[in-house]
Amino acid sequence: MTPNIEIDRLDGSCPVQATGKIDDHSAFYFRGRHEAWQFVAGPKELSTEELVSVKLGFASNDRVFVLEGDDDERLYLDYDHVRDVLQTYAQQYIEWMKERR
């Protein structure tokens, strides 16, 4: 089943950033700058700041999913591309959640 992604914010160019919800039960944050990118998702009661704190290592939360990478294909991120990768990363998050049950 494909997750439903609701994007609350998608803006910027360097970095491109996005926030929103996955299936109305989880929150996500995405950041792409040059070829580096990060995707963080967790329970919807977590704020964007809390998700970023976990990603940066300032906080710990075993309910937060973090993906990071360097990928030449994302060197010139555009909003349509971001929407596509968000769908892929949201699916990986949903699968991760199922494995943890």
pLDDT tens digit string along 60-87? 888 899 999 887 665 456 888 889 989 9
Cβ(14)–Cβ(78) below 8 Å: no
Cβ(40)–Cβ(29) below 8 Å: yes
- The phi, psi pair for 7, rounded to 5°, reads -90, 120
Q: What is the pLDDT of residue 73?
A: 60
Q: What is the pLDDT of residue 72?
A: 60
Type of residue numbered 90: A
Q: What is the pLDDT of residue 74?
A: 57
Q: Does the CA dihedral 19-73-97-63 come out positive or negative?
A: negative
Q: Are strands 36-43 and 5-11 parallel, antiparallel or unpaired?
A: unpaired
Confidence band of 57 (pLDDT split at 50, 70, 90): confident
Q: Quote the distance between the C-alpha of residue 13 and its chain's center.
A: 16
pLDDT tens digit string along 30-54? 998 877 889 999 999 999 899 989 8
Total length of the chain? 101
Q: What is the pLDDT of residue 77?
A: 66
**How do the domains of the chain map onto residue ranges?**
5-95
Cβ(14)–Cβ(36) below 8 Å: no
